[in-house]
Amino acid sequence: MVLPFYFCLLSRTPTAVAPTNPIAPITPKFAGSDRPRQRGGRQPVVAGHLKTIGDNQPFNNRPVILPKAPDILRIIPLGGLGEIGKNMMVYEYNNDIIVVDCGIMFPGAEMLGVDFVIPDIKYLTDNKERLRGIILTHGHEDHVGGLPYIWPKLGVNMYASDLTAGLIKVKMKEFAIENPPLKIIKEGEKLQLGEFKLEFFRVNHSIPDGLGLAIETPDGQLFIHTGDFKFDHTPVNEGQMDLGQLALYGKRGVTCLMSDSTNAEVEGYTISEQVVGETFDRIFKNARGRIVVTSFASLINRIQQIFNSAVKYHRKVAVSGRSMENNITTAVELGFLKLPEGTLVELNKIGRLPDNEVVIICTGSQGEEFSALVRMAAGEHRQIKIRRGDTVVISASPIPGNEKSIYDTIDNLFREGAQVIYGKQVDIHVSGHASQEELKTMLGLIKPKYFLPIHGEYRHLVRHGRLAESVGIESDKALITENGSVAEFDKNGNGKLTNYHVPSGYILVDGLGIGDVGNIVLRDRQAMAQEGIFVVILTVDKKKGTILTSPDIISRGFIYMRQREDLVYQSRQEVKRIFDHLNRQYPANWDYIKKTLREEIGNFL
């Protein structure tokens, strides 16, 4: 009988497991005294114990059910606190649960090979029979992007405004989810879900048709969830926020306000979206060649202003990038994008038009690999080649972590001879989030007893809490917390942060699937990226205890084998020497032999 052994060694601080199944993935592992000696100051991969990344404690597979709390409202953030993105908030009262938003988050630089991150919904799946619905505040990815992955596990009705629902349908269709149970809700509408009474109010943001919600419990207490917002007094394609309605909530009495904290560090007021339209007008007026504009595909108001300037300066508009095409089609069909007939042309037709009559709207504002702008900049787009005389406008701010990709793209555009307008050179991008004075205005209108800042890094939440204190909120009633925490409010309006904690880690999505990548795999990827991998394959006759063939060695990212044949030869000889020595002393003790071989070869390298 022939028994194959696989030894995976990670560079100079190697660790490995030799699986009994040679096809199974090889995963580094440490256990107490088995830890190899350190060399060169480098640390080995350390295996984590959590099923998802970021939890404060392991939950394994046991059900997560909180103790019953009659007539208590619980607020449980599963995403969006202490981070930018993957917004998801749980509201629970007696036997009823509602969820607000279901977003994704872009991965950090340390999350190698990860496409994006979604919330851990173990608490919801373990309490699925109590879930009454998912409310979506607006159509941005950090609020709805997780639905194709999460909704099939929950299967409940979703509630969204016209545009938000339209964008969700397109997204779900891409995942072969036809006719999802989407219910349309509108500004001013009231909705009963279990014991919750909900009322929706308009918010201004960088996408139209956004909604905030007022949540009323059976004991008459009111809780306000703003969603993303800013006070825009000259909004594009929609009316202003109803400040009078917000003031009425405040007059009635609000137990707790949950408010957007993204711009809590930004002084003053956020600029109106219409300022970007004025900038587009100036750019379009002065450009002599083609104009290429990239932005987030979900910034419908921004896209409307691109069309407005194109029409004003007699240019036709073509679109490149699937998400941009889908969102524009949906917004036009629902009446949220208005453009004269004949303005939009197919991309393959623009070659017949003079350069000064062409505008191209495309994806790629974050330097995403394979996006339309990145392919244009690299000369790899099938239909569009950037050339001297083109003006490229990047109408977006970099998401942290994307800067290098964006600047590499800008460099390539300059190399092709384009004029590139980006950054803070002119007002080509404004935030969709309220700055400090607007946040104080919201607090002043709502006048909450308690305040729980949401949607932001931890420093944003802290800064927002201090803003609340500056306008009269008592310091012990500004509740600064993070994902997985549980806040409780009793029927007398008294609130507190409890010691309960539910799973709230990261579920990582990559090409392999959902949740297949965890702490160990991520750390392996980081180690391989930094140090490389060294694999020894040893084939042994199990009965005789002899090596059948010379050890096979595979190296990736550690040494170039053709240039270091001496090291490869020495490694093979060392493997055979160590194996023969161990097999004489401990015959057939394969686990010990494997472990010792890993350690000794690691030290040799």
Please state the residue numbers annotated as binding site.
113, 115, 138, 140, 142-143, 205, 228, 429-433, 455, 510
User: Tokens standing for 143?
Assistant: 């609020």
Q: Angle 172-178-183 (CA atoms, 0-180°, nearest 5)?
A: 80
Q: For residue 275, count CB atoms less than 10 angstroms from its CB and return exposed for 0-12, middle for 13-18, buried for 19 or more.
A: middle
355 is catalytic: no
Backbone angles phi, psi at 255, to 5 degrees: -70, -45
Helix (H) or strand (E) holding 193: strand 190-193
Distances (CA, A) of 298 to 166, 322, 375, 499: 12, 12, 20, 38
Number of helices (H), then strands (E), in the chain: 15, 26
* Nearest Cα residue to 90 out of 52, 50, 128: 128
CA 8: distance to chain centroid?
Answer: 32
User: Tokens standing for 158?
Assistant: 């979703």
Alpha helices in 400-509 (DSSP H): 403-415, 436-446, 458-470
**C-alpha neighbours within 13 Å on the C-beta side of residue 33:** 2
User: Tokens standing for 82?
Assistant: 């202490």
Q: For residue 547, count CB atoms less than 10 angstroms from its CB and return exposed for 0-12, middle for 13-18, buried for 19 or more.
A: middle
225, 433, 464, 501: the catalytic one is 433
260, 460, 501, 524: the catalytic one is 260
Please report, in range form, the residues annotated as the binding site for Zn(2+).
138, 140, 142-143, 205, 228, 455
d(CA 130, CA 11) in angstroms, rounded, equals: 50
d(CA 246, CA 258) in angstroms, rounded, equals: 13
How many of the other CB atoms lie within 10 Å of CB of 535? 17
Specify the length of the chain in residues. 605
d(CA 417, CA 259) in angstroms, rounded, equals: 45
Are 373 and 294 in contact, with CB atoms under 8 Å apart?
Answer: yes
d(CA 367, CA 460) in angstroms, rounded, equals: 26
433 is catalytic: yes
Helix (H) or strand (E) holding 326: helix 322-333
Distances (CA, A) of 518 to 14, 402, 505, 510: 20, 22, 10, 11
Give the type of residue at 165.
A
What HEC string does 301-315 produce? HHHHHHHHHHHHCCC
Give the residue numbers marked as catalytic. 260, 433
